[in-house]
Amino acid sequence: MSKLDEHALAAAGAVDENRLWRRMMDMARFGATLAGGVNRAAFSPQDIAARKLLIDWAGEFGFTTASDEIGNLYVRRAGVSPEEAPVVTGSHLDSQPKGGKFDGAYGVVGGFEALEAIERAGVKTRRSIEVVAWSNEEGGRFQPGAMGSAVFAGDYPLTDALKAVDPEGMVLADALKETLESTPGIAERAMRFPMAGYVEAHIEQGPRLENDDLTIGVVSGVQGLCWYRVEVFGVEAHAGTAPLKGRKDALKSAVSMVSALEALMADESDTIRFTVGRFECSPGAPSTVPSHVLFTIDFRHPDLATFVEMGGRIKGVCEAHARGCKVTVERIIYSEPVIFDPAVIDLVRDSATALELPHMDMVSGAGHDAMHVAALCPSGMIFVPCEKGLSHNEAESASAPDLAAGARVLAACLVDLANR
- Checking if the pLDDT of 1 tops 60, the result is no
Q: List every span in the chain annotated with CATH 3.40.630.10.
A: 6-223+337-418
Q: Minimal CA–CA distance to 215: which of 60, 372, 17, 409?
A: 409
Fold of 224-335: Alpha-Beta Plaits (3.30.70)
Q: Tell me the mean pLDDT in the region 245-274.
A: 96
The average pLDDT across 78-84 equals 98
> How far is it, in rounded angstroms, from Cα 111 to Cα 121?
15
pLDDT tens track for 309-353: 999 999 999 999 999 999 999 998 888 999 999 999 999 999 999
For residue 185, the model assigns a pLDDT of 87
pLDDT of res. 2: 64
The pLDDT value recorded for residue 26 is 98
Over residues 23-33, the pLDDT tens digits come to 999 999 999 99
How many CB atoms lie under 10 A from the CB of residue 56?
Answer: 10
Determine the average pLDDT of the residues in 345-372. Answer: 96
Computed over every residue of the chain, the mean pLDDT equals: 97
The rounded distance, in Å, linking the Cα atoms of 384 and 107 is: 11
DSSP string, 257-293: HHHHHHHHH--TT---EEE---EEEES--TTB---EE
Q: Where in the chain is the domain with CATH 3.30.70.360?
A: 224-335
Instruction: Tell me what percent of the chain is helix, strand and coil, each rounded to the nearest 5.
Output: 35, 25, 40
Share of the chain above pLDDT 70, in %: 100
For domain 6-223+337-418, which architecture applies?
3-Layer(aba) Sandwich (3.40)
Positive or negative: CA dihedral 138, 418, 216, 51: negative
For 216, the 3-state DSSP assignment is strand
pLDDT at residue 359 in the model: 98
